[in-house]
Amino acid sequence: MKVTLLGSGDAIGMPVPMCNCEYCQKSEKRRRSGILIETDGSTVVVDISPDIKEQLHHEEVYDVDGFLVTHFHYDHFWGIQELNHVALTDEDHVFNPEDFDFNGWHDRELKIIGNKTTEEHLEEYHLHGRVKESGNIDFELLEKNQEMSFHDLEISTFGIDHGEEGTTQGYVVQKGEKKVVFAPDAWELEESNVYNDADLFFVEGQLFDAEGHANQEVLEEQIKEANPQRVVLLSNSEHLNQMHTEKMKEAAEEKGFEIWSDYTSIEL
């Protein structure tokens, strides 16, 4: 199981727009939230960030079996707008499709897995008529505290307290003994034992002075109790924390956590 961090940034990403502070000037680029999981039998992306096009091209991923979505917010789901055209039919791309060779890159099914509020946002904001009519968007409902088998993976979910009741869920993706957890935007994690004893635990990283999301002490305690092998922080922002990258990494390490650069990957 190969796991790649697609985006380690917060909702705005680094650098933030229209800012010339020293942190934005010097930081490496941090894209919006997501990970890629690849096994012999499946390619899965967790969260569809607005940076998804660049992220998939960077990793040379041209087929995704399923996109798992934590919640409907811009930085986690609105990259669906970047993917929509993949689902359009030839006729809907141009009026004279017979004159073009599309190389089969579109009229393809997009499989999305997520909860009801995400599906409602998809219906309401993200699918213009022709994408909907193509029938190529396959949304499968998976609520928190549910599980499903998907190709060679076992997927389970748990609730994340993100300040709005019932909107956000974390994912546990397992293949055999290997377990990855993805839990962005958490004030706290809702109680569950599915996220215990993970090999790799990606989690909300605003554990420093800038309190954008986390109830710091509670979340840190929950992470420790979950007993993961390695903890990698999400939602990192040098701009918000007013720290350069090295200092932010050191601060994380003091707590036993890691901050990775985007596109870092490991084999589990």
Nearer to Zn ion, 92 or 161 (CB): 161
Residues 118 and 164 sit within 8 Å (Cβ to Cβ): no
Strand order in the sheet with 2-7: 137-141, 110-114, 66-68, 43-46, 34-38, 2-7, 265-267
HSE, CB side, 13 Å, CA atoms: give it for residue 27. 31
Between CA 136 and CA 20 the distance in angstroms is 42
Give me the least distance between CB of 202 and Zn ion, in Å please: 12
| 143 CB neighbour count, 10 Å cutoff | 13
Q: Is 224 helix (H, G, I), strand (E, B) or coil?
A: helix
Q: Which residues make up the interface to Zn ion (CB under 5 A)?
A: 11, 19, 21, 24, 73, 75, 185, 239
Cis ω on the peptide bond leading into residue 15 (within 30° of 0)? yes
Tell me the closest approach of the beta carbon of residue 20 to Zn ion, in angstroms. Answer: 7
Nearer to Zn ion, 179 or 239 (CB): 239
Least distance to Zn ion from the beta carbon of 185, Å? 4
Give 264: exposed, middle or buried? Use CB within 10 Å, 0-12, 13-18, 19+.
middle
H, E, C per residue of 143-183: CCCCEEEECCEEEEEEEEECCCCCCEEEEEEEECCEEEEEE
Structure tokens at 73: 């917010």
Q: How far is the CB of 5 from Zn ion (least distance, A)?
A: 15
Q: Which residue number, 25 or 229, has a Cβ lying nearer to Zn ion?
A: 25
Comparing CB distances to Zn ion, the nearer of 47 and 92 is: 47
Closest distance of CB 149 from Zn ion, Å? 28
- Tell me if 204 sits within 8 A of 235, measured CB to CB: yes
Is the CB of 27 or the CB of 136 nearer to Zn ion? 27
Task: Tell the smallest beta-carbon distance from residue 10 to Zn ion (Å).
Answer: 6
Both tokens of 162, joined, read 């993100």
Whether 131 and 87 have beta carbons less than 8 Å apart is answered as yes
Q: Which is nearer to Zn ion, 89 or 117 (CB)?
A: 117
Residue nearer to Zn ion on the CB measure, 174 or 206 = 206
In the complex, the smallest distance separating the C-beta of residue 72 from Zn ion, rounded to whole angstroms, is 8
